[in-house]
């Protein structure tokens, strides 16, 4: 469903070139929970942003259902992201002047507000946030903010969720909650790609990869999870 085909990403700066990704190939199917482990600076976030249509590779292709994301124009690519890809980030990226329900609604641009709210409130209830619907991000705990960000990704029922260190700012209990919700989405037929330097999701992954210095170095199945 989502694949990267021989992706290389080179960053050019005043001190020279840095290779963020080097000849990375990866395919993710529906119903998969793929965890990508790696240390800081290994290329995890670069991989996720490239797969999500947000960072053009220097070479290689990214395909979603066979469509080359970077062959499409920016307007079409943005529409594909809005409809088919959900993002969850370590730093939440919530809009501070919108309350919880409004932040979730922001995940569905172009939809009628009344229709969206009928979908938002049951989702917030499932995530244990119904009592926080009218609260603003500054009044939420880290766990509540991350669940709000997850709700924003889930509300559009995307084909794939790309999660960048979604448990990095959470305690063990809240990290487990977030991973379980991602697993529930995956078990309903969605695809998840989660990058992390921790091992919160190891027990839930259908496949585990490791990336170092921009290269995928090891591939493990659910039956061989030992980093």
Domain residue limits, the chain:
2-221
Q: Which residue has the higher pLDDT, 106 or 55?
A: 55
What pLDDT score does 8 carry? 97
C-alpha 198/C-alpha 95 separation (Å) is 27
Q: Which of 71-75, 108-112, 124-128, 179-183 has the lowest mean pLDDT?
A: 108-112
User: Looking at residues 146-155, what average pLDDT do you find?
Assistant: 91
pTM: 0.89
pLDDT band at 168 (very low <50, low <70, confident <90, very high): confident
C-alpha 102/C-alpha 155 separation (Å) is 12
C-alpha 54/C-alpha 37 separation (Å) is 21
SS3 of 33, please? strand
| Domain covering 2-221: architecture | 3-Layer(aba) Sandwich (3.40)
SS3 of 186, please? helix
Q: Show the CA angle centred on residue 7, arms to residues 2 and 197, nearest 5°.
A: 75
What pLDDT score does 113 carry? 56
């Amino acid at each position: 469903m989502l694949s990267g085909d021989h992706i290389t990403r080179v960053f050019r700066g005043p001190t020279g070139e840095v290779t963020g990704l080097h000849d990375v190939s990866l395919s993710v199917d529906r119903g998969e929970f793929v965890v990508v482990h790696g240390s800081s600076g290994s290329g995890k976030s670069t991989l996720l942003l490239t797969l999500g249509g947000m960072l053009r590779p220097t070479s290689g292709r990214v395909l979603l259902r066979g469509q080359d994301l970077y062959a499409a124009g920016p307007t079409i690519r943005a529409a594909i992201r809005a409809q088919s890809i959900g993002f969850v980030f370590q730093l939440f990226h919530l809009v501070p002047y919108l309350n919880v329900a409004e932040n979730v609604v922001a995940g569905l641009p172009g939809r009628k507000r009344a229709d969206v709210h009928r979908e938002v409130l049951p989702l917030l209830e499932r995530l244990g946030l119904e009592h926080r619907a009218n609260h603003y991000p500054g009044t939420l705990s880290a766990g509540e903010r991350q669940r709000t960000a997850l709700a924003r990704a889930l509300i559009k029922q995307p084909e794939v969720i790309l999660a960048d260190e979604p448990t990095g700012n959470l305690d063990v209990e809240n990290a487990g909650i977030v991973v379980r919700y991602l697993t529930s989405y995956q078990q309903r037929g969605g695809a998840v790609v989660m990058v992390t330097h921790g091992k919160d999701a190891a027990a839930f992954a259908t496949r585990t990869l490791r990336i170092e210095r921009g290269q995928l170095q090891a591939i493990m199945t659910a039956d061989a999870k030992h980093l």
